[in-house]
Amino acid sequence: MKSALVVGGLVVVVTVAVAGVSAVTQVVSQDQAAEQARAMGVSLTCNASLGPISAGPAGSGAADAAKLNEDQRENVAMIIQIGKERQLPPLAWQVAIQAGMTESGLRNLDYGDRDSLGMFQMRPSMGWGSPEQVKDPNYSIRKFYDVLEEVPNWEQQRPGESAQDVERSAFPDRYHKWEPMAAHLIGNVGLVPDPTGCGEGTGLLVPAPTKAAGAAIQWALGQQGKPYQWGAATTHQNSFDCSSLMLQAYRSAGVTLPRVSRQQYRAGAMLPVEEAQPGDLLFWGYDTSNPDTIHHVAMYLGDGKIVEAQQTGVPVHIRPVRWGEPELMGQAVRPGV
C-alpha cells in the first residue's frame, strides 16, 4: 500500500463484472441460489446487468488457487469467515482476497515498501494502526473491510477497482490479475454457488443437465456437517449414509431412487465417468468390473468435486475426486433420465 487511509473521492464507474463466481457446484436457477445464500445468512442482491466477475481462461482460477500453501489458505478462510460474520456479501470477500494476493501474496509480511506491513501492506504512518496491529490478520482483515464499506458504490464495481479504492496503489490495474482465483476461492472455500443470486455461473461452470439434478445438488449441499450413520432412516435428515443422502436429495427433486448404492447404479442413464455432469452419481466398488461389489455412492458437483456421506466419524462433506482413483467405477449414472 502506497498512500494514506483516505477512501472518499473518485470512484471509477465500470460496466463489468460483479455478478456470479466460481463454485463447488453448478448454478441452475436464481431461486435456488438465493435460497442457499439466505440459508447461509448472506444478504445478496442480483445485478445481472453487470455480468460475471470471473475473467480469464476457464480453469485459470482453479490452477492459481491450487498453488496456495497452507498459510495462504488459512488467510483466505479467515477473510471469508470475517466477511460472513459481518454479513458482507461475497463480493467483499473477493475484493479482500484480490487485494491481499496482490499486496503480499496473502501472507502476513513483516516488511514492505517504506513502513508497509502485513497481508494488505498497511502503513502505520498513514493511520492504519500500530505495526503489531497491521501484522495481525484478524485486525488487518477487519480494518480492510471497515475501509471498503466506506467506498462509495463499491458493490457496483469490478472487485479490482474496489481493491484499488482501498489500497490507493500506484499500480491500479494489478488487482485484476487475481480475479479468477478469488472467484474460485469464494466458491470453493466460501461454498457460495451464486453470490449475487443471478443464477449465472462463470469459468468452468455449466448448468446441471436437468432441473431435478440442480435441486438435488442444492438439497445435498444443505446437509453438510450432519453425521454419518450406516443404515440411516430415509424418513429424517438428522444423519445419513451414502445412499440415503442420494435418495433423499433426489426425492426432494421429485425423482425416486432405490435405497442402496448397488441398486442406485441401475436407476438412471449411464455415461462414462469422465463425462459426468453436476448431479450425476458416482460409484465405488471393490471390483470395478463387477457392479455387485459397489459399496459407496456420491454426487458429482462439477469442477472435480463431490458431496458425500463417507463413513462413520466423517460428516457429510465436499471433497475433490480424481478420475481413475482406486475403486471408482467407470460409469456414472444420471437419475431421472
Catalytic residue among 184, 242, 275, 327: 242
**Cα(301)–Cα(294) distance, integer angstroms:** 20
Residues forming a β-bridge with 308: 317
Catalytic residue among 46, 167, 296, 325: 296
What distances in angstroms separate CA 311 from CA 242, 280, 292, 327, one per listed residue? Answer: 8, 20, 20, 16
**Number of Cα atoms under 13 Å in the Cβ half of residue 136:** 11
Element (H, E) at 38: helix 30-39
Is 242 a known active-site residue?
yes
C-alpha grid cell, residue 269: 442413464
Catalytic residue among 103, 179, 200, 308: 308
C-alpha grid cell, residue 278: 453436476
Q: With contact defined as beta carbons under 8 Å apart, do 45 and 197 qualify? A: yes
Number of neighbouring beta carbons within 10 Å of residue 254: 11
Q: Which of 226, 217, 212, 178 is nearest to 65 (CA)?
A: 178
**Cα(114)–Cα(116) distance, integer angstroms:** 6
Per DSSP (E only), the strands in 165-280 are 268-272
**Residues annotated catalytic, as ranges:** 242, 296, 308
